[in-house]
Structure 1
Amino acid sequence: MSRRCELSGKGVLTGNRVSHSNIKTRRRYLPNLHAVTLQSETLGRSFRFKVSSHALRSVDHRGGLDGFLAKARDGELSARALKVKREIEKVSAAA
């Protein structure tokens, strides 16, 4: 699995490591990812995602997984997260 947040789309960035003598070599900046289990109130199920710390704070701020996915853009979400979003929308529309 790639080093990409499934909810926010954050991924690996590249840049230069600069030594004291100003020699530049390429390096990678890795996102701060964690494997977390998030609960959906609408579906009554829990889902396991690989999420960055920034996205985890955003999920908490928006009131949980359902609130976050309702406002999230489809382009940023992974295929699994997009599938969960569609399920939540389907259940919400039926209710």
Structure 2
Amino acid sequence: MSTAAQHPAPFELPMETVPQLRAALAGLASLGIETKLEEFEADLAKTPLHEYEALGDKYRTYVRNNTSPEAIEGLTMSAAESASQLRRKMEEAGR
């Protein structure tokens, strides 16, 4: 059984302000995913104000792609679950 429900999902956090987006990026660390906080801060410092929306979209997409239900399930899947799923897929491919 997967433990995905036990982990807070950063994609469930609001990501409409810079502090909220920072918190969502930081939340990726609890899943063992690169947070990209340093890259975000560097981009934020050099991005013109009129381009902040595109910058926000870039990092919101990064958070969402790495915290989709499928990604969380894969990250929290036990070795036995992973091996079982791989066996099933290999059997299906062999048919």
TM interval, shorter chain, is under 0.3
Q: Which has the higher contact order (CA 8 A, sep 6+)?
A: 2
By percentage of residues, which structure has more helix? Answer: 2
TM-score (normalised: structure 2)? 0.27
By percentage of residues, which structure has more strand? Answer: 1
